[in-house]
Amino acid sequence: MSIFVYGHRGAAYEAPENTIPSFKLAKKLGVYGVEMDLHTSKDNELIVMHDETLDRTTNGKGLIHLHTLEEIKKLDAGFKKGTKWKGTRVPTLREVFENLGKIHYYLEIKQSSRVYPGIESKIMDLVNEFKLENNVQIISFDFDSLKNIRDIDSKIKTGLLYTGKTAWFLDIAKELKVNFMQPSFNLTYEDDIKIAKKNKLGVEAWTIDTIEDVKRAIKLHIDSITSNNPRMVLHTLKKNAK
């Protein structure tokens, strides 16, 4: 059985998370896909960043949706990772697609249209523009986001992110018509895998950053691994395949 490897925010262990250099490094390492987080700016551009605020990963401050793209583009998203990365900019989703092309993508919607009006439609419009329908999976903790995506597109792959027992979220997953359960790996056990598979749902776990967890994921027959350290994961999978 092969396990697909996704770079969490790119190759965040080695490069500034959720930036073009991070995604490019993950692709160079040979990942199946990359995971990223989406918000919208004040002028409705799709911004790739994990937090809803600028503070942690840039030299800016405040909520993303209160800043225009022009303001966000002036920020440094790399210097906190080291001088090597100084001057790295916050990317838009369009820029990620332009730079990475036909790799696979986990696109995590951090907040639904209740917070970011029309974000689901904006994402799907861009996915369709770049003809990436077969390369994209929309994921979220936000039930409304997943419902909105499914209402827009009945065929796009979706995944429900959650922390806890799979059984607790099974009915919700069915109602939202998702394709994959995406649990926190440290709370995932054999019975979680069995109940998902019994209901014809894949299991894609996050975030797996140690050799021991990779080996446990192999034993559990996880479908995909999302990791901040894809270099280590790929090496471990290759070594254990022999």
Annotated catalytic sites, by residue?
A: 8, 50
Which secondary-structure segment (H or E) carries 216? helix 211-220
SS3 202: strand
Long-range contacts: 115-119, Cβ < 8 Å, 24+?
A: 115/65, 116/39, 116/40, 116/65, 117/40, 117/44, 118/40, 118/44, 119/38, 119/39, 119/40, 119/46, 119/145
Q: Which residues pair with 224 in a beta bridge?
A: 4, 204
Residue 101, amino acid: G
Interacting residues of 122 by C-beta distance below 8 A, sequence separation 6+ = 40, 44, 46
